[in-house]
Chain A
Amino acid sequence: MRENIFTSFTTRLMVSFLFMLSLYLLLRGHNYPGGGFIGGLVGASGVVSLYISRAASNGAVTRNSPRIRPGSNFWGYLMFIGITMVLLSGMWGLLFGNAYLDAWWYTSIIPGIGKIGTPFFFDVGVYLTVVAVIISITRVLANVKNPDDIYEETGE
């Protein structure tokens, strides 16, 4: 099936804003609404909308669908990196602080990002995990290798 030109055009416009919004949500997260989970969801929704716009109308993943490299487990490794960051960001508090996940802040302020500390790495870890999980699920749900298979199975 052909791409829908309206969907793909709007998506291309929208996706960059979605990614910027997701990074903004990630960075403001500690004291205001936002953070790794919400930011990750917004970011993942950008990638998912790319999938939808470039997939054939029956939802199958086609050659145009965004992918890293056929057969690579990129999102799995991203998930791994994310969870590892979450785990390690709490370790400082466990080993040297008062409790697991106890925050440790770098004292000076970095322009554009703000104060950096272990909660930031926790948030980034959550962000990566959420993005990777949502996209993995989408890929599994959308993964029909050959659209003709559907017609054979349903007998249409």
Chain B
Amino acid sequence: MDRFIVLPLLIPLTTAILAMIAPGRVPRRWVVRTALTLNLAAALWIFATILRDNTVLVTNAGAWPAPYGITLAVDELSALMLTITAVLALGVGIFGDITIDITRERFGFLPILNFMLMGINLAFITGDIFNLYVAFEVMLTGSFGLLVLGDRDNQIKGGIKYMIINLMSSTIFLLAIGLTYGVLGTLNMAHLAERAADVESPGILTILAAMYLVGFSIKAAAVPFFFWLPASYHTPPAAVTAIFGGILTKVGIYGMLRVHVFIFPNEMQHLQWLWLLMAGATMLVGVTGALYQREIRRVFSFLIISHVGYIMMGIGFDSRVGLAAAIFYMAHHMIVKTALFMMAGILEGIHKAKDLHRMGGTVNRAPVLSVLFFIAAMALSGIPPLSGFFAKFALLSAAFSAEQYILGGISLIVSLLTIIAVYRVWHEGFWKPAVDHILDPFIEEIVLERLDNVQRRLIVAPSVVLVGLAIGMGLFANASYELADRIAGQLLDRTRYVDAVLGDYQEEFEAENTLPPTFQVGRE
């Protein structure tokens, strides 16, 4: 049954094709909704199988054996990411097909969304580092399409920054892959992990790890490579921002986990100072930007950066506790941030404004939305019974057990500032009395008047589910943390993954020294 792990790739691709030729708006919506549900079912099936059998599912495309063919492998981390992505994609799919305007839909919002989803799923499934690059490119192409769809001036402006910086990141990533092949003679992740473990860190691997770090931190929007994110994320419609804010930066984080934790674990000790410095700076810069901004989606864009810093900090401690905390935090952040962006879109639709100063009085007009937003905002800032508190608590305890008191202190200060930034959004957007304002003529808001009652409920429903998940992660924090810890243990252990991918190959070639000549020269 292992070969069916390609389903998370095939379902979005098929959907994209069907959505391209669907005969009208309503059939297209239902095709996409059905397919995203199927995608979620497939992801849940993969996750359940892996948790039950305690195994790694492997398939080789075209049945070419492991280090030569392209391996697709799903371990616990991949399965978790696949599942969360599937949940978010379903939510944003429903939210998006209702709220997107007719022009954008006619120019292919839903097909592009599904192509991007295919790229994201491929990034999580693949067991080959060059294939990871391909996945990043598919994702980047799709996301660029979504970003500029609609052809507004500010979208193009943001899109160009996004495109150029992300292409630079891809170039660095590709260079690093080429050098990796030159040094280690393979691109299969399991094979790389096996060979890299044998090397007595001759320096070249440190350089490789640093190059990967630059490549991934551009994708993840870490300081000093974060400029593209606040420049572009507030320009497209809310549905696009929601899926971008929830998933895209986290694919960069996934790359870090795969490459730095899984393949080059020994390099972390050389890069740790740089890593932690970047994490601290990212946290501080993100939250400071969020405090300064006045547009609701810009505030949350900057908060993404700040939370990427938290996750990087957890990875940077180079310990199992830190890693588990980082994975927990990542899951929490993906869920809550997507919900917040969707609700921010609805809020902009209610007030016909982007600027927080022009909002207010939402508590009376939309009480359900207000309560949901409040819970999600409190989860984001880390108030006790919710997921954010436990995620931050885990990170903080990891920081103190790693004796990184300065970074722990910074994370506490940033938490406090996050509460201020989020409270400001809550107060300005919801709590304060309604203000009369001139309607912003250029805003791309959701036209709520055009929706009937069912549709109005449907666009809030995804946020309800996601907020429910955030509450659940808080109430069952122990179980969630244990799951994160198990994933971290599996990622650090890496023998199970390697055995599952390379099983036959290892036995066959164990006697020979299979390292290529360049590698041996490099070692001496």
Contact = CB atoms under 8 A, between A and B. Distances in A.
Interface residues of A, number: 15
A80 B17 CA distance: 6
B17 A102 contact: no
Interface in A81-138: 83-84, 87, 93-94, 97-103
A66 interface: no
Interface string A54-77: 000000000000000000000011
B21 A99 contact: no
Contacts of A102: 62-63
Interface residues of B, number: 14
A98 B10 CA distance: 16
Interface residues of chain B: helix, strand, loop or mixed (majority): helix
A103 B69 CA distance: 13
Given A83-B13, A87-B10, A103 B20 contact: no
Given A99-B60, A100-B61, A101-B62, A76 B3 contact: no
B20 A99 contact: no
A104 B420 CA distance: 62
A100 B6 contact: yes
Contacts of A103: 62-63
B161 to A, nearest CB: 23
Nearest to B58: A99
Contacts of B6: 94, 99-100
A100 B72 CA distance: 10
B20 A100 contact: no
A69 B4 CA distance: 42
Contact of A80 (B20, B60, B61): B20
A84 B62 CA distance: 17
Interface of A: 76-77, 80, 83-84, 87, 93-94, 97-103
Given A80-B17, A93-B62, 20 more contacts: A80-B20, A80-B21, A83-B17, A87-B10, A87-B17, A93-B63, A94-B3, A94-B10, A98-B63, A99-B3, A99-B6, A99-B63, A100-B6, A100-B10, A100-B61, A101-B61, A101-B62, A101-B63, A102-B62, A103-B62
Closest 6 CB pairs of A and B: A98-B63, A101-B62, A102-B63, A100-B6, A99-B63, A99-B3
